[in-house]
């Protein structure tokens, strides 16, 4: 399977570096500068056509991004962003101050609004559910996509916070289902 992930367009909370998690924050009006970046990303996506399916989380910002990109999508709850619990609505630095190196080196051990182990299991379930597809497009969230990249490249999510993935960034990953089955939880 090949999966292309696009992180949702920036919200006002992204601009303030506030953690959104499960908060359903929408996309503000698109600037001309952002419109140019979207056009660049669309050219990249054209090279990958056709997609077997296009997916977005249940959160408005990912669905609005899919719509702005001109795609019809199916909603997939497994793609919902990490539940940051009491850190939602706070600057990302507060979470980093609280957990320090553990947030960077061993996030899988943490429990926020949901356990990071549960979060990793959602990613595994997603990859298993869509393993029969050849080429999918996913509109999602920062922590979720970073965790999926970490899982696919390293076998767990512990590298997720060493990965930088900005709003409107995209990445295409080849996903080998046999390797996942051996690692999978």
Instruction: Output the tens digit of pLDDT for each of the chain's 185 residues.
Output: 999 999 999 999 999 999 999 999 999 999 999 999 999 999 999 999 999 999 999 999 999 999 999 999 999 999 999 999 999 999 999 999 999 999 999 999 999 999 999 999 999 999 999 999 999 999 999 999 999 999 999 999 999 999 999 999 999 998 875 544 444 44
Instruction: Report the distance separating Cα 103 and Cα 114, nearest Å.
Output: 14
Could you give the dihedral angle defined by the CA atoms of residues 100, 77, 11 and 137, in that order, rounded to the nearest 10 degrees? 100
Query: What is the dihedral sign for C-alpha 24, 28, 30, 34?
Result: negative
* 162 assigned to some structural domain: yes
* 85 assigned to some structural domain: yes
* 75 assigned to some structural domain: yes
Beta strands 2-7 and 53-56 are unpaired
* CATH code (residue 8): 3.40.50.1240
Number of domains in the chain: 1
* 185 assigned to some structural domain: no
Domain containing 62 equals: 2-180
């Amino acid at each position: 399977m090949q999966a292309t992930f696009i992180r949702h367009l920036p919200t006002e909370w992204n601009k303030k570096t506030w953690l959104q998690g499960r908060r359903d924050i929408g996309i503000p009006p698109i600037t001309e500068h952002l419109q140019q970046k979207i056009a660049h990303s669309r050219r990249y996506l054209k090279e990958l056509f056709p997609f077997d399916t296009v997916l977005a989380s249940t959160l408005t910002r990912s669905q609005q991004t899919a719509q702005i990109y001109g795609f019809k999508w199916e909603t997939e709850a497994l793609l919902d962003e990490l539940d940051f619990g009491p850190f939602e609505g706070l600057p990302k630095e507060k979470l980093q101050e609280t957990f320090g190196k553990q947030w960077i080196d061993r996030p899988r051990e943490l429990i926020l609004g949901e356990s990071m182990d549960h979060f990793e299991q959602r990613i595994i379930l997603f990859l298993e559910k869509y393993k029969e597809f050849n080429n999918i497009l996913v509109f999602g969230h920062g922590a979720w996509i970073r965790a999926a990249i970490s899982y696919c490249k390293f076998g767990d999510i512990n590298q997720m916070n060493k990965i930088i993935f900005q709003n409107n960034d995209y990445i295409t990953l080849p996903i080998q289902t046999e390797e996942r089955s051996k690692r999978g939880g």
